Structure 1
Amino acid sequence: MGIFSRFGDIINANITALLDRAEDPAKMIRMMIQEMEDTLVEVRTTSARVIADRKTLERRMARLQEEAVEWERKARLAISKGREDLARAALAEQQAVEEALRQASREVDAIEEQLGILNEEVGQLQQKLDDAKAKQKSLQVREQTNRSRMDMHRSGSREKLEEAFRKFETYERRMDNMEAELESRDLGRNRNLHEEFEDLERDDQVEEALAALKARMQADKRSDD
């Protein structure tokens, strides 16, 4: 189904308003341009046909003009020969031809008026078509600009994301290094702690031995007394 139903719809159309209401402006403008171009072809075809009709009428008028002149010549000849009856008949034919000539002239005038209207319509259609094509180009530029901005945005977002990953990886590596260093310190600290407990156990053994020795010495002293 076409967007426009008649020539007047195209001429009176507000392209911007139609595009603002369209779900797909790019598709809508393509349809508009196609319909305008089709209508323009139709109007120009009609104009060509009317021009052809005018040329046909102009040729007919030229022949009628020649006939009128010829009938007048015959009427003059008849009068010169004393044949008024033939002169009257010739003049009657001349009048009929001249009436046909006047009718053809009125038809040519009507055709000229129609051609003037068609020429104006072609001009209006062409202007609307030029406006639509300009709007289409503007939409294409806007679409390309938006696409480029989206690509740049996606590219920028990707770079930021990659940068965040790199920072996170660096942070993880730093944490790994710190944990490794702490573990290495803990390993050394665990060995010292073990040795300390061994020392404590040795101290306990020494104390026990010392206490035992003192007990024996006390016992020996009591026995000497």
Structure 2
Amino acid sequence: MGLFTRFTDIVNANINSMLDKAEQPEKMIRLIIQEMEETLVEVRATAAKNIAEQKTLARKVSASQASVTHWHGKAELALAKDRDDLAKAALAQKHKYIAELEQLEEENKHLSEFLTAVQDDAQKLQSKLNEAKRRQEALLLRQESAEVRLKVREKAAIYNIDEAIGKFERYQQKIDRIEAQVEAFDMTENKDLSAQIADLEQDENIEQELAEMKKQVANG
């Protein structure tokens, strides 16, 4: 495929449409960027080659112009010396270089038009390349976001949130039962203590009553 046929295909390509239809958009965008960069290198190399050729043409044009002026002067000199034959020969040389000059100027005109087109094409291709790279960045961001979301989903599948909450509730209930046992133990312990004190108070009352009875018997 020729350079500019391929270039036209690239510039006219709808990158977004290509990526939307691709099974692997990230791979497709890499290939598109690679193709664009390679084509841009070739376009620039072609431009550099033709710029060098244009400089060579410019030197040839300058030389031909000098030759036209040179032989025109020789023809005038020959006429001044009444040498029509030499003047005629000098004019023939002049016209030879005029024809050469016209051809060179025509070539230079076409080459200038070609270089202008190449410069325009290179700018279009660079614009397309920038667009492709922006799309690549967007795809990378989407890919990173998708990977993060996938990891979250995978974690959720392994550690089910509802199950985790259920486990927490069961653990909390277990703690509640233990705390209830502690409170029950404290209540039982306090009740026993009160009963023991009440017994002591009852014993003391009996001892007092017994002492009173002994005292009455002794006085009787």
TM-score with structure 2 setting the length: 0.70
Q: Distance in 2 between matches of 1:90 and 1:164?
A: 111
The alignment partner of 2:82 has SS state of: coil
Tell me the alpha carbon deviations over residues 164-207 of structure 1, each in whole angstroms, 9 at most, x when there is no partner. Answer: 44444555x47997xx9xxxxxxxxxxxxxxxxxxxxxxxxxxx
Q: Which residue of 1 aligns with 2:23?
A: 23
Q: Which residue of 1 aligns with 2:76?
A: 76
Q: Which residue of 1 aligns with 2:211?
A: none
Structure 2 gap ranges (5+): 182-220
Does structure 1 residue 7 correspond to structure 2 residue 32?
A: no
Tell me the alpha carbon deviations over residues 117-150 of structure 1, each in whole angstroms, 9 at most, x when there is no partner. Answer: 2122112111111110111111112222223333
Q: Which amino acid aligns with 1:42?
A: E
Question: Which protein shows a greater Rg?
Answer: 1
Does structure 1 residue 107 correspond to structure 2 residue 107?
A: yes
Does structure 1 residue 55 correspond to structure 2 residue 55?
A: yes
Q: Distance in 2 between matches of 1:87 and 1:20?
A: 75
Does structure 1 residue 89 correspond to structure 2 residue 80?
A: no
Q: Distance in 1 between matches of 2:96 and 2:166?
A: 100
Structure 1 gap ranges (5+): 181-225
The alignment partner of 2:28 has SS state of: helix
Q: Which amino acid aligns with 1:126?
A: Q
Q: Which residue of 1 aligns with 2:133?
A: 133
Q: Which residue of 2 aligns with 1:149?
A: 149
| Cα displacement (A) at 1:104 | 0.3
Q: Distance in 1 between matches of 2:100 and 2:142?
A: 62
The alignment partner of 1:82 has SS state of: coil
Q: Distance in 2 between matches of 1:20 and 1:72?
A: 69
Does structure 1 residue 35 correspond to structure 2 residue 30?
A: no
Q: Distance in 1 between matches of 2:35 and 2:53?
A: 27
- Count of residues in Structure 1 that have an aligned counterpart in Structure 2: 175
Tell me the alpha carbon deviations over residues 38-60 of structure 1, each in whole angstroms, 9 at most, x when there is no partner. Answer: 11111111111111111111110
Tell me the alpha carbon deviations over residues 80-108 of structure 1, each in whole angstroms, 9 at most, x when there is no partner. Answer: 22222111111100000010000000001
| Cα displacement (A) at 1:154 | 4.8
Q: Distance in 1 between matches of 2:97 and 2:22?
A: 61
Tell me the alpha carbon deviations over residues 16-54 of structure 1, each in whole angstroms, 9 at most, x when there is no partner. Answer: 111111111111101100001111111111111111111
Q: Which residue of 1 aligns with 2:193?
A: none
